[in-house]
Structure 1
Amino acid sequence: MHDQSAANDPSDSSQTNGMERSPADERSQPSRFSDTVMPNQQRDGGAKRTYHILVVEDDPTLATLETDTLTAQGYTVVTVHSGELAITTLHHAIPDLVVLDLELTGEIHGWDVLQALRSLATIPVLITSSSVTHARLYMRESGETRLTLDHLPKPYSLQALLKRIQRMLPISPAH
């Protein structure tokens, strides 16, 4: 159990919670998803890293499958169904990894979301798209490695999704 007495002590200005940020703080830099969620506890009492994933997918059935699969594996998942909501979410908090459908419906497409994300942070992005040629060409031209940008062509198995995500997330001793 987490002792919150230090977090509630107004005299200790070094303790901050993602919910206690001032409006000026929110405008300057988005927080990390991991700053707002406490880590899981392992059986031995040690902290286990909880990875936070943003799933951007406009197909509700696929979004539900991805979210349920990732949640069952212990990830904290936020799912949005449009490019507009993805960009809004990214301006508030940066996840550890984004699963991004390039072929979003609406005015803001996956490429726009990727560009907005890269202006904020360089975190791993797993592009999902049936448009293999455009995704691979962008990956070659961007100069990013497969640890920060990779493509999983649709249709794909959920096992393939999990393997790519596990490869792309930072390896930490506690995970």
Structure 2
Amino acid sequence: MRILVVEDEPTLREQLRTQLESKGYSVDAAEDGENGLFLGREYPMDLAVIDLGLPGMSGIELIRELRKLQRDFPILILTARDAWQDKVEGLESGADDYLTKPFHTEELLARINALLRRAAGHSSPLLSAAGVEVNTAEQTVYRDGEQISLTGHEYRILEYLIVHAGKVVSKTELTEHIYDQDFDRDSNVVEVLVGRIRKKIDPDGSRKPIETLRGRGYRLVKEGEAA
């Protein structure tokens, strides 16, 4: 999943980047509202974390502009302000949730995970498809009750596919949501990773949980659906 972080305080911005990347998220970071708007407009984000107290274009203005552009990804606002009016204004501008500084990393990650699940239409962190169970909160993967070890990049791809189980996901869509803007879009890394995932979740090749639709992309078979 790809997350936009807009925070003007350099130390906190880098802490957020590091913490989110350590959990397998791809992160695009901006130090002000103008750059945040550019990234949110030009790249397909899955969620944004936006500080309200930005210089120049405020966090509220940024949220309003993103919503005007019909960017409907979830937005979590960060605020150092205690006034409930500021939190209400942020939510009424189009944000989905808020955290007051200082906050614990665990709470930030839990709220992000919950927002991503709700946006995809899931109420639980336990997602199942094609005999595979993914716990998006713990970032664990099981096949028939046995835990499977995946690399960070493999997990990102499988999580994205299972969140969108039953839907065709193009290679471009996978690349844009799994990696930041500096990733080599012409590489065959995604194809290689999908091949490795197949071998791990379907070692004997009997289930064929991930379909390849030539010229269209990949599709993870939904639970109870024949491959």
Q: TM-score, normalised by structure 2?
A: 0.49
Structure 1 stretches of 4+ moved >3 Å: 139-142
User: Could you tell me which amino acid in structure 1 is paired with residue 40 of structure 2?
Assistant: L
Seen in structure 2, the aligned counterparts of structure 1 residues 139 and 86 have a Cα distance that, compared at 3 Å, is: closer
Q: Does 1:53 align with 2:3?
A: yes
User: Could you tell me which amino acid in structure 2 is paired with residue 126 of structure 1?
Assistant: L
Q: Does 1:134 align with 2:81?
A: no
Task: Report the Cα offset of residue 141 of structure 1.
Answer: 4.4
Query: When the two structures are aligned, how many residues end up with a matched partner?
Result: 120
**Unaligned stretches of 5+ in structure 2?**
129-161, 164-227
Name 2:62's counterpart in structure 1.
113
Encode CA deviations 1:5-31: one digit per residue, 9 max, x unaligned. xxxxxxxxxxxxxxxxxxxxxxxxxxx
Distance 2:2 2:116 in 1: 10
Task: Report the Cα offset of residue 138 of structure 1.
Answer: 2.2
**Unaligned stretches of 5+ in structure 1?**
1-50
Q: Does 1:123 align with 2:123?
A: no
Q: Which secondary structure state, in structure 1, belongs to the residue aligned with residue 28 of structure 2?
A: strand
Name 2:96's counterpart in structure 1.
149
Distance 1:94 1:152 in 2: 23
Distance 1:97 1:140 in 2: 15
Q: Which secondary structure state, in structure 2, belongs to the residue aligned with residue 108 of structure 1?
A: coil
Aligned residues: percent identity?
Answer: 32
Distance 1:52 1:154 in 2: 23
Distance 2:67 2:43 in 1: 14
Contact kept? 2:4, 2:45, Cα under 8 Å: yes
Contact kept? 1:96, 1:124, Cα under 8 Å: yes
Q: TM-score, normalised by structure 1?
A: 0.63
